[in-house]
A = this chain, B = another copy of it.
Amino acid sequence: MGRIRMTDVARAAGVSPATVSYVLSGKRPISEATRKRVRRIIDELGYRPNHDARALKSTRSKTIGVLASDFTEISVSEIILSIEQIACQNEYHIFFVSGMEFDYDVKEALAFLMRRRLDGVIILFGVTSDQPVGTIGEIDIPLVSINRPASEAHPCILPDNYNGGYRAAEHLLSAGCTRVGLVTGPKERFSSRERARGFLACLKDSGRRFPRKLQYAGDFEYDSGAAGLERLLEVNPDMDGLFCANDMMAAGAVTAAGRLGVVVPERLKIIGFDNRDFSGLWPTPFSTLDAPFEEMGRASVNTLLSMIDGNTRETGITYIKATLVPRRSTSH
């Protein structure tokens, strides 16, 4: 651990520590000769500036903290990836903590993050766990949350599930469906409710009525998709379009349709939500909405950086739209 310090470099180069510091930061003019010499010594000695000392001195660590609940969720890890990408382009680094580490006590986790001189924090809530936000405590550094509002005072990035649901309906209608059904996710989930709400709104806007018997209450799991399809078809034999509020259920529905001999898409068109990796590979590849993970990550970093650098006081919710991915399950 006996590391080489700036003093060592200075001595070896026959200059003062300050000079070495300035060579590194470029914050004041240095003669070409000394710069070259110092640089050479730095390489020779393998000197690495000590980050802790720097941070201690400058109060700007150039790193942002990311607190993620469960990043086993594919969505979460994709968002993190995008966060890192953008952060990196702006010469920021990521200090990462999973909520698990703090038993999902957000306040505690943030307190921990505050000890590091982080320039800002992004809280990334999971979508599958409806973990409560809880109080976030007193936070005096820039903070942005994703997937769930952290507090009134902090900006939040959300996927536009409402719009996605709306577009799903639009897509089915424009594909010629006249009697469309809906398999919802769990009522407790915000995303689930929003998707359904958007879907129904579109039907209403296009002047259709939607009988209750065309709706089935699923739970986002595969089996409920299959069960939903069977039940809906039983009650509405002429149903010709179906929106499942996520891809897991859509997969179940497509498979169940096959079992019943209901040909997709000829007799029934099906669309899901999430664009999971298996959706395009399914025996009948099915249409879906691609959740805007990458853009959500980008948006979060951008607003965070503008809070840090621009010193602005951003706030409010930003919705990011999903992308429609049409596949065989809804083709004419």
Residues of A bordering B, CB below 8 Å:
1-3, 46, 48-53, 55-56, 59, 61, 70-72, 74, 76-78, 80-81, 84-85, 88, 93-98, 100-101, 111-112, 114-117, 138, 140-141, 222, 248, 251-252, 255, 258, 276-278, 281, 283
Contact = CB atoms under 8 A, between A and B. Distances in A.
Contact of A140 (B1, B59, B85, B96): B1
Contacts of A114: 2, 48
Q: How many copies of this kind of chain does the complex include?
A: 2
Nearest to A89: B101
A52 B94 contact: no
Contact of A117 (B2, B72, B74, B258): B2
A1 B53 contact: no
A252 B140 CA distance: 52
Nearest to A59: B1
A222 to B, nearest CB: 5
A264 B116 CA distance: 56
B46 A52 contact: no
A100 B84 contact: yes
Given A1-B59, A59-B1, A115-B2, A81 B52 contact: no
B49 A52 contact: no
* Residue among A59, A74, A88, A278 with max Cβ neighbours from chain B (10 Å): A278
Contact of A98 (B3, B78, B81): B81
A67 B49 CA distance: 20
Contacts of A94: 96-98
A116 B51 contact: yes
Given A46-B138, A77-B77, A100-B88, A283 B281 contact: no
Given A48-B115, A283-B283, 8 more contacts: A1-B117, A1-B141, A48-B114, A51-B115, A70-B81, A88-B101, A222-B281, A278-B278
A218 to B, nearest CB: 15
B281 A251 contact: yes
